[in-house]
């Protein structure tokens, strides 16, 4: 660790940024527009990322990965989003990149050997099943129940918004193994599985949604799904705790994706503002167009600094809840605002699909809601950092 302050990327980190940016040139705005409009998974992109070894960036080397930190993963996802791939690109790979953290830390050796190398080489697609219609952000209220029967669990319940479930072979599934009413602490009694998404027992229905349409988000109706005990991640009843470990990194990675979309939106806006002439001058000469874009630059740069601090703290084993939450909040705001201004800069053409900023706008919007809403971030900062009373 260097003694003073440093804002520079290491040579390796810069190499990651440059390599990913180079690789993403193969997938232009037209590629993403077409995937989005056809509601078609970006297989060529996914395969390219897998072939480059990028899916294993944080997975330990003994399972085929590179064992790098969240700083490196955040640079990867920022560049992927920034290329114009946005959330369609990021979501296609996000879960492989960091979603398996609870398995890496708490999974049995057998489960890790069986799954992680296949995730790294791209062969195994995974999704993440937490949200339920009856629980919302209050995850402890989930009711999907796993009942132990000999060497199996039998699961019944319902999940909602599960991204990539249609395309996935396995799901990281959060269940209750003790009912909410019967636990002492509401965070107890939940159990995590990494298991097959058996289509004969799970009905998967895509939700028609506002954007990011190259990757589905789905309702899951789970009816007597049998899960072998070997697919349980760690101990019974500890699932929620295992997920908590991964929340800060998840927030940082989402922040990086929001930042990437904000950056590409701003690039496109600046280009259009220079090209488009109205009233005999480029529209970008008008301060009503130029200032919001310059203002967005300041907000994106400031948000990026907090993100860099958060990932540095995490990778150096220091507490980072405040910074991770702040980074997610600021990057989501700055990214969305930049996309909105990019749309405004394009005038009527902003509303046309052809200029891509409408797609960025739709994709940037989701980061204010998922995986954690801006309100819950403020709840965290209000209660944990400022010590104010909790509403949740
Ligand atoms: C495109 C997309 C993809 C997703 N992918 C996945 C996935 O792969 N896997 C998965 O498990 N989930 C996924 N989700 C679900 C996502 O994590 C949730 O939508 C999100 O956590 C918000 O929960 P909710 O929709 O139930 O909102 P609710 O809990 O119903 O909340 C509604 C609103 O009320 C606010 N609110 C609630 N309580 C409070 C309070 N105490 N104080 C202040 N405000 C409050 C919230 O901030 C929110 O704005 C996805 C969602 C979307 C939209």
Per residue in 344-385, pLDDT tens?
999 999 999 999 999 999 999 999 999 999 999 999 999 999
Contact 73, 81 (CB under 8 A): no
For ligand 1, pick from 95, 210, 369, 388 the residue to mutate: most ligand atoms within 8 Å of CB: 369
Atom 49 of ligand 1: nearest residue by CA position: 373
Q: Which domains does the chain have, with CATH numbers?
A: 11-121 (1.10.540.10), 126-239 (2.40.110.10), 241-385 (1.20.140.10)
Report whether residue 131 contacts ligand 1, using a CB cutoff of 6 Å. yes
Q: CA 281 to CA 130: how far, in whole Å?
A: 52
Can you point out the beta strands (E) in the chain? 126-129, 145-149, 152-163, 170-176, 190-196, 202-206, 217-228, 277-278, 281-282
Q: What is the pLDDT of residues 299-335, one digit of tens each?
A: 999 999 999 999 999 999 999 999 999 999 999 999 9
Name beta bridge partners: 301.
Answer: none
Q: How many CB atoms neighbour CB 116 within 10 A?
A: 24
Q: CA 119 to CA 59: how far, in whole Å?
A: 9
368 to 85, 99, 306, 323: CA distances (angstroms): 18, 20, 17, 17
Report whether residue 69 contacts ligand 1, using a CB cutoff of 6 Å. no
Atom 24 of ligand 1: nearest residue by CA position: 136
| pLDDT for res 2 | 52
Report residues of the chain scoring pLDDT below 50.
Answer: none
Q: Enter the tokens of residue 240.
A: 């929620």
Name beta bridge partners: 193.
Answer: 173, 232
| pLDDT for res 245 | 85
293 C-alpha to ligand 1 centroid (Å):
30
Q: Enter the tokens of residue 183.
A: 């636990």
For ligand 1, pick from 133, 136, 390 the residue to mutate: most ligand atoms within 8 Å of CB: 136
Q: CA 369 to CA 366: how far, in whole Å?
A: 5
107 C-alpha to ligand 1 centroid (Å):
27
Where does residue 370 rank: exposed (0-12), middle (13-18), buried (19+ CB within 10 A)?
middle
| pLDDT for res 3 | 60
């Amino acid at each position: 660790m260097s003694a003073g302050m440093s804002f520079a990327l290491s040579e390796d980190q810069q190499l990651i940024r440059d390599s990913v940016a180079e690789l993403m040139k193969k997938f232009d705005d037209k590629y993403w527009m077409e995937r989005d409009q056809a509601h078609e998974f970006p297989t060529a992109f996914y395969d390219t990322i897998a072939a480059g070894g990028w899916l294993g960036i944080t997975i330990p080397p003994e399972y085929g990965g590179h064992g790098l930190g969240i700083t490196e993963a955040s640079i990867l996802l920022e560049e992927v989003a920034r290329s114009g791939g946005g959330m369609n690109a990021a979501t296609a790979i996000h879960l492989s990149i960091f979603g398996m953290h609870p398995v890496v830390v708490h999974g049995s050796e057998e489960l890790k050997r069986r799954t992680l190398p296949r995730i790294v080489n791209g062969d195994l697609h995974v999704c993440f099943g937490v949200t339920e219609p009856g629980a919302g952000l209050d995850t402890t209220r989930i009711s999907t129940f796993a009942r132990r029967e000999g060497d199996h669990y039998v699961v019944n319940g319902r999940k909602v918004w599960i991204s990539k479930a249609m395309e996935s072979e396995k799901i990281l599934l959060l269940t209750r193994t003790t009912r909410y009413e019967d636990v002492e602490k509401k965070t107890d009694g939940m159990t995590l599985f990494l298991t097959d998404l058996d289509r004969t027992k799970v009905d998967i229905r895509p939700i028609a949604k506002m954007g990011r349409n190259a990757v589905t988000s789905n309702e899951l109706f789970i009816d007597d799904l049998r899960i072998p005990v070997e697919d349980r991640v760690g101990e019974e009843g500890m699932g929620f705790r295992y997920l908590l470990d991964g929340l800060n990194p998840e927030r940082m990675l989402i922040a990086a994706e929001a930042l990437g979309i904000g950056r590409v939106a701003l690039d496109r806006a600046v280009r259009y503002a220079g090209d488009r002439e109205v009233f005999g001058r480029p529209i970008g000469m008008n301060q009503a167009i130029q200032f919001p874009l310059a203002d967005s630059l300041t907000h994106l740069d400031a948000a990026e600094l907090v993100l860099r601090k958060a990932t540095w703290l995490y990778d150096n084993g220091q507490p980072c809840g405040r910074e991770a939450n702040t980074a997610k909040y600021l990057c989501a705001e700055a990214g969305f605002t930049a996309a909105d201004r990019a749309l405004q800069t394009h005038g009527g053409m902003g509303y046309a699909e052809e200029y891509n900023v409408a797609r960025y706008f739709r994709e940037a919007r989701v980061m204010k809601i998922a995986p954690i809403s801006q309100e819950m971030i403020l709840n965290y900062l209000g209660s944990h950092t400022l010590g104010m009373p909790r509403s949740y």
